[in-house]
Amino acid sequence: MIRVIGDKSSAFNRFMLELRDAKIQKDRMRFRRNLERMGEIFAYEISKTLPSEHKNVETQLGSVEIDVPTNELVLATILRAGLPLHNGMLNIFDKADNAFVSAYRKYDRDNSFEVKIEYLSYPVIDNKILIISDPMLATGSSMHLVYRALIEHGIPEHTHIVSIIASREGIEYIRKYFPKTNVTIWVGAIDDELTVKSYIVPGLGDAGDLAYGCKI
């Protein structure tokens, strides 16, 4: 299942406009904050899909039943670009466990690349709801590699893939190589083109560099 948040006009699209705007995105703090706010919106939308139960709470004047989500969650992200988006979802799912993956593209001289994982930190994943976030879903290979690394340590009940912007190629890759059931893809927008270096066009640029500065 694919859900595109930006298909309908909302405050989400104002944050998207600012993320894409080459002038506004020069403000790193605003760029990070917009990623965080979009993470909060994604989390809110995902929360609507989770199983729930009635809980009774006592107020100062009586009692009331409230319907609340019941699942245990694991929020996972790919360092470093995914941190603001992850933090936004953690603002909503504040009791979730967390996983962190360090992955990078190792380029060859012909601009081809291989995704490498250097570090993996994870909690118990078995039978939990796994949410993996990365601002950009370009080829889909990084997301797939991270997913495979995580499920070596437990099989989640359901997996949500969250990205601000995805390419059509990346979406098709996820649909091809991820399980056909129990996976939902959440994106803000889907762009049509990838460059020879696998950057999304029009995209927004390198989310990690825009959030934290250029790397060597």
Taking the C-alpha atoms of residue 130 and residue 125, their distance in angstroms, rounded to an integer, is 7
CATH of the domain at 139: 3.40.50.2020
Q: Which domain holds residue 12?
A: 2-49+69-203
pTM recorded for the entire structure = 0.91
Asked, for residue 208, whether it belongs to a domain, the answer is no
Each residue's pLDDT tens digit, 148-157: 999 999 999 9
Contact 121, 149 (CB under 8 A): no
Asked, for residue 162, whether it belongs to a domain, the answer is yes
Backbone angles phi, psi at 127, to 5 degrees: 65, 15
Backbone angles phi, psi at 69, to 5 degrees: -60, 150
How many domains are contained in the chain?
1
pLDDT on residue 114: 72
Each residue's pLDDT tens digit, 112-137: 667 778 889 999 999 999 999 999 99
Taking the C-alpha atoms of residue 144 and residue 164, their distance in angstroms, rounded to an integer, is 17
Asked, for residue 214, whether it belongs to a domain, the answer is no
Each residue's pLDDT tens digit, 63-74: 999 999 888 999
Each residue's pLDDT tens digit, 82-100: 999 999 999 999 999 999 9
